Chains A and B, each alone.
Chain A
Amino acid sequence: EVQLVQSGAEVKKPGESLKISCKGSGYSFTSYWIGWVRQMPGKGLEWMGIIYPGDSDTRYSPSFQGQVTISADKSISTAYLQWSSLKASDTAMYYCARQKTGFDYWGQGTLVTVSS
């Protein structure tokens, strides 16, 4: 059974750094792209970027390029989304999802709250 399990909710202050994770199981982790999707409170889905764990090829949406870093550790089948300096506007639910032609399996989401 394909599963994507994300790390737990985070509460951070503006300016702090953060790295959230997404662990894949039940399939060949290095053979599928993994993407990250943002959903701000009460808003729609936004495509942030994707990574191919097999060779770490990474593509970002122009809206998120330079704002976040997507990485993966294929030895532990885990993808990451990180911020170096959080802003209040980063408060959102973040989902990881496996990409085939589109997203087929989704993680449960990680709620990130940034507040002073």
Chain B
Amino acid sequence: NFMLTQPHSVSESPGKTVTISCTGSSGSIASNYVQWYQQRPGSAPTTVIYEDNQRPSGVPDRFSGSIDSSSNSASLTISGLKTEDEADYYCQSYDSSRGVFGGGTKLTVL
């Protein structure tokens, strides 16, 4: 079964840049689009990146996504960190038309 692996947690200071990785277990992560979702405590998820590197309207350009085929991984980078960015972040892709989520990464901005 295809799996996506994320670090359990990351932390960084306000104003800095953080990168969250999402590594595919098999095949090529570039074969299907990767999305990134933000979930603040007590709230529904929202989409911050779709189709590997596209930002929905309303998402600041501090958020960016990329794919690295050599490491079979996707990354979410958040620059100019703000305390409001503190949340859980999930990557998501597909395997045989069925969706797969990563386990989630808790971002602490301290």
> Are B44 and A106 in contact, with the CB atoms below 8 A?
yes
Given contacts A35-B99, A45-B101, A100-B50, 18 further A-B pairs with CB under 8 A are: A37-B101, A44-B88, A44-B90, A45-B45, A45-B90, A45-B92, A61-B99, A95-B45, A97-B45, A101-B33, A101-B51, A102-B33, A102-B34, A103-B37, A104-B47, A104-B56, A105-B47, A106-B44
- Interface residues contributed by chain A, number (CB under 8 Å): 23
Majority-rule SS of A interface residues: strand
> Are A104 and B50 in contact, with the CB atoms below 8 A?
yes
Majority-rule SS of B interface residues: strand
Binding site for A on B (CB under 8 A): 1, 33-35, 37, 39, 44-47, 50-51, 56, 88, 90, 92, 97-104
- Measured CA separation A106–B90 after assembly (Å): 14
**A59 CB to nearest chain B CB (Å):** 6
Task: Pick the 4 closest A-B CB pairs, nearest first.
Answer: A102-B35, A47-B99, A44-B104, A45-B101
